[in-house]
């Protein structure tokens, strides 16, 4: 959620800068461009504030659990380990998974839908978390599209991807 709000704030800020740069070249529409620029600027400030406040809420939760306010120190909190693993897998695994395609590939997830919809714990002490997804199709040599299942093993304490597997779905 924080990443989405940060991206939305950046996009709105860039749109307001574009509107401000267009002001000198559109003499008859200055009031509309200025209004749009102010609107996008307000949106970017609102999104940035929401992203920052959600980070503050997360820090407060970690502090309340006795973790000195550090989200990097998960301890035995399983939701913290899963959150870190999900972020790492979402950022780095799709590019690695795409390299498994012999011909073409197609992600069939929605715009705001996550690519990983499940997980498996290899070791309850938090050594490796396997993130699992099935929102991908590969094209085989005869041109047919096959639905694939993919797994990404992540070490959440170091944000290292250990292994990636892709198999045809039954």
Looking at the DSSP assignment, which residues form a beta bridge with residue 85?
A: none
Residue 87: per-residue pLDDT: 87
pLDDT digits (tens, 9 = 90+) for 8-42: 656 655 666 665 666 566 666 656 655 665 655 55
Answering whether pTM is above 0.75, one says no
- Residue for token pair 């307000």: 42
pLDDT digits (tens, 9 = 90+) for 44-56: 566 555 554 555 4
Rounded CA separation 71/69 (Å): 6
3-class DSSP state for residue 35? helix
Contact predicate 126/148, CB 8 Å: no
Name the CA dihedral angle for 38, 43, 48, 51, rounded to a multiple of 10 degrees.
Answer: 170
């Amino acid at each position: 959620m924080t990443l989405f709000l940060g991206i939305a704030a950046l996009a709105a800020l860039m749109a307001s800068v574009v509107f401000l740069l267009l002001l000198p070249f559109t003499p008859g529409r200055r009031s509309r461009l200025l209004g749009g620029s102010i609107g996008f600027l307000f949106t970017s400030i609102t999104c940035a504030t929401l992203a920052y406040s959600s980070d503050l809420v997360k820090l407060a939760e970690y502090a309340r659990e006795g973790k000195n306010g550090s989200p990097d120190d998960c301890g035995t909190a399983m939701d913290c380990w899963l959150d870190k693993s999900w972020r790492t897998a979402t950022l780095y695994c799709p590019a690695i998974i795409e390299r498994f395609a012999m011909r073409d590939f197609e992600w069939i997830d929605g715009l705001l839908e996550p690519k990983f919809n499940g997980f498996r714990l290899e070791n309850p002490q938090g050594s490796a978390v396997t993130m699992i997804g099935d929102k991908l199709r590969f094209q085989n040599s005869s041109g047919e599209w096959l639905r694939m299942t993919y797994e990404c093993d992540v070490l959440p304490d170091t944000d290292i991807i250990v292994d990636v597997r892709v198999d045809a779905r039954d």
